[in-house]
Structure 1
Amino acid sequence: MDRTEKLHIAMFPWLAYGHTMPFLEVSKFLAQKGHQISYISTPKNISRLPKLPPHLSSNLSFVEFSLPHVHGLPPGVESTSEVPIEKVPYLKRAYDKIRDPLSDFLKNSNVNWIIHDSLPYWLPGIAAPLGINLVFFGIFNASSFAFAGPPSALLGDSRKRPEDFTVVPEWIDYPSTT
């Protein structure tokens, strides 16, 4: 790719302030470089974001998708800050239902890349047929991901109790004093 080529990048964060803000900061950085950014979220989450500096408004636009209703999720909820922890699974189900409007948006736009969060497991199935590249943006640092472990560990049976997550995991085999 030519370094002067300008891209259209879609940003797709999870519905939590601790995710939306880092995604906005990356969006602003990329927009300053001249790339076209489509920041995708729900109306309430977008309304909570700080105002953009005027010089970025031509390169950064907000794309709003209403959060579909899911039985068990209180009406009007669009963020983890609006529900107790036990209701977050319902928010995740509603987030998954953004799949269809997001797919329609991607089919009718010229998006080159999608920078996404960890939750839309279904996104590769939409992006690949459209020839759209995906980039995972994890808001956690590398040591957090190392501690969580590889997918095989996450799916395995070795860590089930909360106490299992308070010790150095077996796959971290370098010396430690803990």
Structure 2
Amino acid sequence: MFSIFTAACVAQFKPSSPSMADVQDDRKELEDFTRPPKWIPFPTTITFRLFEVLKLFDAETTGKGDTDTHPSDLYRFEKSLQLWDAIVVRSCWELETDFLNLLKELHNKPVIPTGQLPPVAFAYNNEDDHDHDEASWKPIKKWLDKQETGTVVYVAFGSEANPSPEEVKEIALGLELSGLPFFWVLRSTIDQLPDGFEDRTKGRGVVWKSWAPQVKILAHDSVGGFSSHGGWSSVVEAITFQRPIILLTFLADQGWNARILEERKMGYVIPRNENDGSFSRDSVAESVRLVVMEEAGQVYRENVKKMKGVFGDQERQDRYIDEFLSFLITNKNILLSRKPIG
């Protein structure tokens, strides 16, 4: 089983080890998912906030058991953990020592981290004239080149997150209030921007209305922070290029990812209402200024710098892949002898 989720996320699911057969998942109400499960033996804040749970679960997805017409994702994931011979996780020992060791205990099977699978060198070579995204990159690079080093807030929430009209408005006005230059990739709900916003921020900010080469943008020296949804691929890219993260989660595992970054002081979560997830333009402005410019945000910048030495070390990350391949070769006879599951 290859999990695109981190070890901390996988550890949220019920253990499958025979030695833990008596351990029951006592999380029955949605509010129960705002605290760590009882099989995590050490202190952690990696859990959902209430508004994240409310977005994630509905009547169908709380169902459990083989007889469900549409078993929940939670049930399906837990069943997978029981059936597979090994768990492969997009993670590294330097980031998640405790959780990687815990997974071995919870499931009584090999746990192999693949490293963080960072973007490879050719993907962010700004001088590569043959790159397929050159037409998009040239005007973006031209604008970024005019900005001061480490001052630009890059804003992108992935392809699946869809901020509501009210959220788009508050993000926009927050960026305006911050006074910082920004590059915002907003491929939908353009008509929901506040009246006059683009005119008032012309020159200082860009609202980019199509696909953008995120890795190249993050690699540019003018970028000082990344306002992100917390998808792990985006997190890896940000840390690879030493960009602290201002987090605004929307769905799936993003809440867990945000807590991981919060615990390690590499990302700052924009303050939100616990029940409905709403936030204000003031909280957006204060958050981006804190992380990118203010002395109080230095801890985030420093910690991301330290972890860049892990995420951005290609040789170190390649060794994780080599170890994974070695595991597959060593165990190929066992793995090939298994009957298909289905």
Please state which band the TM-score falls in when normalised by the shorter chain.
Answer: 0.3 to 0.5
TM-score (norm 2): 0.26
Q: Which has the larger radius of gyration?
A: 2
Higher helix residue share: 2
Q: TM-score, normalised by structure 1?
A: 0.46
